[in-house]
Amino acid sequence: MTSARARRAGAAAALALLLAAGCGRDSGSGDAAPDAVADKARGDGSVTISGDDRLADTLTWRAPKVELDNNEVALEDALERADAALEAGDLDAGPGSAIPLYQAVLAHVPDSAPAREGLERAFTALLAEGRQALARAGDDDAALRRAREVAAVARSLRPGGDQVVEYLAGVDRAEEMAEINRAAEVELREGRLGEAGGGALAKVRQALALDADQPRALQTLAAVESAMIRRAEEAASEGDFETAGTWLAHAGEVREDVDTVDDARARVDTERRRWIERLRDDGVAALSKPDGIERARTLLARMLTLAEPGDPAVAELRERIDLAVHYGSFRPGQRFTDAAAGGRGPRMVVVPHGGFTMGAVDGDRDAGDSERPRRNLRFDRGFALSLHEITVAQFRRFVEATGYRTRAERRGFSMAYDERSGNFVRRSGVDWRSDFAGAPAAANLPVVHVSARDAQAYADWLAEVSGERYRLPSEAEFEYALRAGGRGRYPWGDDAPPAGTGNLTGGKDRSPGGRGWSNAFDGYGDGHWGPAPVGSFTANAFGLHDLEGNVSEWVADCWHDSYRRAPTSGAAWVNPGCRMQVVRGGAWASSPPQTRSSWRAPSPVDNTNARVGFRVARDI
């Protein structure tokens, strides 16, 4: 404002002379100013547009009416207000804006140099503002409206000026682009993507033909691709992978050099995998029901339309159908898993029906009265046992699914191996997540530090989520499976264990600190001090791992001092509310006498330590 007032002071005398001349001049006479700015200033600010200009309706500007007295003071004040408005960026919005004020002064004093100069500066600022609005117009409708407003004002000031003509052409392009973009967005919202021609895709490509880098059009293009991908994924979720593939092919033609479609194909393939596995699970479940074979074959046929050749899930269901056709639901030695809570249960092995003699063999010097009297038992129907002990990973799945807290967690300790003393000691913070020494356990180790009640809770959960009759094995079932047809003191016979028999106490075994066993199988070594990953040793004749060693196992029976009055069916001998339960089978830290086939021991149902885990049985 200081510079404007100085300029005003320097031109005061000239303004007075111009006022005298201006007051006697007819603003509509033929003595028009030679340039467009002065010529426009004499009118009311309106421009009549002719021809086929597509923006004619939006480019007519009528200058706001300025009430201005025709005297020196009023005109000087108007010039100062116009300069202030110009500096503030208020160019054309109302009667107090720079351009209307300059025009009002020129209407009274056409030769006013300050008004001409100010109007020229306002015109330059106006075009600059318009160009800035044009730069944003592709993504901002408000900026496009402002660009049109500027176009109307600029055209009224200099109808034929080169800058104005060039600017108007830019507005025209922006308006055309905006219309195309809006039309593309309407097509997109109404679901007409244009995969077969037309639709949103055609519109957006029309826009990009005008400007290959136009952000709004590129955004719509990406949205078209996303809509096609979404349709592909919706089709996949319904199992219609043919339609999903068609939509992915369309999406792949929308944009180049992007990973979105490849990522979508990976998601659809994942969904395909889920469908294949779900069909496999449904087929397996069908086989246990009347007339389930035909249902399973139908599901297999559906799987074959989805899976690649050699798919393992397809092979599994095909084999299960073949077994059902030729052997009924199961066969001796068969391994299987059940669907359980969105995943798979433990691998099971069908133990064949048959008979055996339970209890200590005659002349066994290490046997106690609890292993007698010997008795003959027969299983008229086979049953299934888990291939190996339940692992840490399998138990974790149960805990995560149910929120179950084990006995060791609730009381805060368990019995773990202490390397310094070579004994088992009470150690705080040890639970099912821990290994034999209390360190974090690997997922494929047998779970230890679990009580009999913890083991029963896992079996109950597995039965619930699978719909099958899972349970802890009976003591008779355990010994029958452990012997696997043998009649010796040990599962492998009467002599020393052959190499690779199992995780036993061997004379060659050494702890991390160099300790050895004081009572062990001479000359035997298995390379482990503590439990080994399940299944690390050869399966027995029934196809089961680790029954003779690794960890001892809880069975369902309550403890009784002998087999007198035990069930003759081989079922578990259970008394309501019993506090002591039976542990069977040798462990990594068991002496040779504790590895005998008939060995059994009592343990409180809440006891937990690093030597005892469990496996599950299932009725078939």
Instruction: Report CA 199 to chain centroid distance, whole Å.
Output: 32
Instruction: Report CA 505 to chain centroid distance, whole Å.
Output: 46
Give Rg (Cα) of the chain: 46
DSSP letter for each residue of 170-192: HHHHHHHHHHHHHHHHHHHHTT-
How far apart, in whole angstroms, are the C-alpha atoms of residue 76 and residue 16?
10
More confident site: 56 or 449: 449
Residue 8 has pLDDT above 70, yes or no: no
Query: How do beta strands 552-558 and 612-613 pair?
Result: parallel
How far apart, in whole angstroms, are the C-alpha atoms of residue 138 and residue 214?
7
Q: Does domain 354-619 have CATH number 3.90.1580.10?
A: yes
pLDDT over 70, % of the chain? 90
Return the closest-CA partner of residue 159 out of 30, 53, 31: 53
Look at residue 106 in the predicted model and tell me its pLDDT.
Answer: 92
How far apart, in whole angstroms, are the C-alpha atoms of residue 499 and residue 204?
74
How far apart, in whole angstroms, are the C-alpha atoms of residue 159 and residue 338?
84
Count Cβ neighbours within 10 Å for each residue of 307-340 and write b for 16 or more, e otherwise: beeebebbebbbebbebbeeeeebeeebebbbbb
How far apart, in whole angstroms, are the C-alpha atoms of residue 449 and residue 261?
49
- CATH code 1.25.40 region(s) in the chain: 181-258
Q: Which H or E run includes 301?
A: helix 292-306
Residue 53: half-sphere exposure toward Cβ, Cα within 13 Å:
18
- CATH code 3.90.1580.10 region(s) in the chain: 354-619
- pLDDT digits over 570-585, tens only? 999 999 999 999 999 9
More confident site: 491 or 3: 491
| All residues at 6 or more sequence positions from 50 whose CB lies less than 8 Å from its CB, including other chains | none
Look at residue 140 in the predicted model and tell me its pLDDT.
Answer: 81
Residue 109 has pLDDT above 70, yes or no: yes
Look at residue 52 in the predicted model and tell me its pLDDT.
Answer: 38
Look at residue 327 in the predicted model and tell me its pLDDT.
Answer: 55
Look at residue 257 in the predicted model and tell me its pLDDT.
Answer: 84
Look at residue 58 in the predicted model and tell me its pLDDT.
Answer: 58
Look at residue 399 in the predicted model and tell me its pLDDT.
Answer: 98
Average pLDDT over residues 454-463: 98
Of the pLDDT bands very low, low, confident and very high (cuts 50, 70, 90), residue 326 is: low
What class is the 181-258 domain? mainly alpha
Residue 28 has pLDDT above 60, yes or no: no
DSSP letter for each residue of 308-324: PTT-HHHHHHHHHHHHH
Which residue's entry shows tokens 């027995």? 540
Angle of helix 12-23 relative to helix 2-10, nearest 10 degrees? 60
Annotate 413-431 with three-state secondary structure.
Answer: EEEEEECCCCEEEEEECCC
Other CB atoms closer than 10 Å to residue 588's CB: what's the count? 25
pLDDT over 90, % of the chain? 72
More confident site: 72 or 416: 416
Return the closest-CA partner of residue 231 out of 204, 195, 281, 186: 195
Of the pLDDT bands very low, low, confident and very high (cuts 50, 70, 90), residue 526 is: very high
Whether the model clears a pTM of 0.85, i.e. scores above it, the answer is no
Look at residue 135 in the predicted model and tell me its pLDDT.
Answer: 85
Question: Which phi and psi angles does 557 have, rounded to 5°?
Answer: -70, 145
Residue 40 has pLDDT above 60, yes or no: no
Residue 439 has pLDDT above 70, yes or no: yes
3-state helix, strand, coil in the chain (%, to 5): 45, 10, 45
As a whole number, the mean pLDDT across the chain is 88
Residue 228 has pLDDT above 90, yes or no: yes
Look at residue 118 in the predicted model and tell me its pLDDT.
Answer: 93
- pLDDT digits over 113-170, tens only? 999 999 999 999 999 999 999 888 877 889 889 988 999 998 888 888 888 998 888 8
Other CB atoms closer than 10 Å to residue 397's CB: what's the count? 21
Look at residue 256 in the predicted model and tell me its pLDDT.
Answer: 87
Look at residue 169 in the predicted model and tell me its pLDDT.
Answer: 87
Across 9-13, 174-178, 380-384, 590-594, which has the greatest mean pLDDT? Answer: 590-594
What are the DSSP E strand ranges found in 229-319? none
Look at residue 328 in the predicted model and tell me its pLDDT.
Answer: 63
